[in-house]
Amino acid sequence: MLGRRDVANELIAGITPRSTQWRQEFAFTKVPSNDPIAIPAFEVVQVSIYHYPLVNIGGKMLPPIGEPIDLTRLRRSSGIDWIQRKENCPLD
């Protein structure tokens, strides 16, 4: 839901030099919404994508997660509200 848990915890704690750098990078992050819940969720996922170590996948060092990012809000009354949807994401 919010990227990698260990990266998110480090970001939220904000006590490492790395987490300080990540917070500074948010000023340059394009968040596709002004939603007060979507913004931090999007930022944590972005940090996870750009800063999580590469892993060996099929003999190649690749990021374990990547872009583009879908953003949704789940509502009990109306179901899924799309904030940002990938072009290849089905409507249903």
List pLDDT tens digits, range 74-90.
888 888 888 888 888 77
For residues 27-53, average pLDDT? 73
Domain total of the chain: 1
Within a domain: residue 91? Answer: no
Alpha-carbon distance of 72 to 81, in angstroms, equals 6
Residue 27: pLDDT band (50, 70, 90) is: low
In terms of pLDDT, which residue wins out, 9 or 28? Answer: 9
Instruction: Flag whether pLDDT at 30 surpasses 70.
Output: no
Examine residue 19 and state whether it is found in any structural domain, yes or no. Answer: yes
Q: Is residue 54 part of a domain?
A: yes
- Indicate whether 89 belongs to any domain: no
pLDDT tens digits along 2-24: 557 787 788 778 888 988 887 77
Domain interval for residue 70: 5-84
Q: Is residue 92 in some structural domain? A: no
